[in-house]
Chains A and B, each alone.
Chain A
Amino acid sequence: MTWAVLVVIGACTYGLRASMFVALGSRSVPEWLEGPLALVGPAAIAALLGSMLFTHDGAVSGAPLADAVAVVAAFIVVRRTQNVMAAMAVGLPVAWALAAVGF
């Protein structure tokens, strides 16, 4: 039964993935849809981030101070450097340093 469940979930998820690849065909995206589609990225990233940082076990919960400071520091550094790798290069040491002093 486990195998069957996994195959069905995989098939349904692939259906979601392939749906627009098949539906659009050689047609281009309607103009009215271009604006909203350009916002999928920032909106989805922020939604996932909000869910990761501020919820726990299905309830709203504040992010630990060290995590919040690390994330804000990472945001500022990437904003200035435009280098996404800097997020981890700065964020993780900030979290380690705060943990070392008891946060």
Chain B
Amino acid sequence: MRTVHLQPRSVAHGFGGAAFEGVRDITPMVMGIVPFGLAIGAAIGASSLTSAEGLFSGPVILAGAAQLATIQMLDGGTTPVVVILSAVSINARILLYSASLARWFADRPLWQRLLLALPVIDQMHFTCAPRFERGDLDRSGRAAYYVGAAAWLVLAWVASQIAALLVGAGAPQALRLDLAAPLAMVGLLAKSATGRTPVVAAVTAGLVATVGVGLPLHGSVLVATLAGMLAGQASARVTPRAVEVSS
């Protein structure tokens, strides 16, 4: 069982230093989402949505896959109820990130927690959770790190969509910017998935997401994530017994 340090071992950073560290650490993720933001900006431009509606959808949904699906469905005349159900289903995984990140801010007043919940999304979880688990950021340092990372992520996300809408997503196909997001994610996976349990979780989740692509309501990523977590937990239970037997 992993030990989670809710209290700091030492205070390693001032507020500004921690905020800057958050900006620095989320930068690979930001580079991964900018091409996606450009693609969504282009999709807004090509759709029947007004620029105001399209740009409003960026910060208000703050989740690329759901935003793109929403734009495409609204453009195609899909019934509003179906659009809403689909987008919320795609975003259901955010509940897991909320559970993971909330514990680091549990001692904050409710109004602050409500604000801190605003940018909960894949990239924030992938960047902040491992950093917080190192345990050397205090209460204020965690908030600074989180706010710094969130500000940079949201700014880049909105700016990339505005840029694509204003000047068109004119980057040549040969630059392969579409590969930036998977590369950023594979980099994060290579760094974070060490040890048997996370590797089992990752392999299972990857397989289930691929095989389960046809699941209704775009549920494959959520189902795959849960399957990966269960498989990882199961392997963690099996491993100590195996070690016991062998020793």
Chain A residues close to B by CB (< 8 Å): 1-10, 12-14, 16-29, 31, 33-55, 58-60, 67, 70-71, 74-76, 78-79, 82, 84-88, 91-92, 95-96, 99
Contacts and interface: CB of A to CB of B under 8 A. Distances in A.
A22 B103 CA distance: 10
A71 B183 contact: yes
Q: Which 3 A-B pairs have the closest CB atoms?
A: A87-B187, A43-B228, A10-B60
Given A5-B70, A87-B184, A92-B176, A43 B61 contact: no
B210 A45 contact: no
A95 B186 CA distance: 15
B91 interface: yes
User: Interface majority SS on A: helix, strand, loop or mixed?
Assistant: helix
Interface in B98-124: 98-103, 105-107, 110, 113-114, 116-118, 120-122
A79 B51 CA distance: 42
B42 interface: no
B43 to A, nearest CB: 14
Contacts of A41: 100, 125-126, 129-130, 192, 198
Nearest to B74: A2
A6 B60 contact: yes
B106 A26 contact: yes
Contacts of A92: 175-176, 179-180, 183
B201 A43 contact: yes
Interface in B43-99: 49-50, 53, 56-57, 60-63, 66, 70, 74, 80, 83-84, 87-88, 91-99
B224 to A, nearest CB: 4
Contacts, number: 300
B19 to A, nearest CB: 19
A22 B214 contact: no
B57 A47 contact: no
B190 A79 contact: yes
Given A29-B99, A82-B191, A40 B174 contact: no
Contacts of A25: 106, 110
Contacts of B208: 47, 50
B11 interface: no
Given A39-B201, A44-B125, A49 B206 contact: yes
Given A8-B84, A34-B2, A47-B220, 12 more contacts: A6-B53, A19-B95, A27-B106, A35-B2, A36-B232, A40-B125, A43-B205, A47-B224, A52-B185, A71-B179, A74-B186, A79-B190
Contacts of A75: 186-187, 189-190
B233 to A, nearest CB: 6
A43 B179 contact: no
Contacts of A74: 183, 186-187, 190
Contacts of A84: 28, 184, 187-188, 191
A81 to B, nearest CB: 9
Nearest to A24: B102
A39 B187 CA distance: 17
Contact of B28 (A23, A38, A87): A87
B193 interface: yes
Nearest to A51: B209
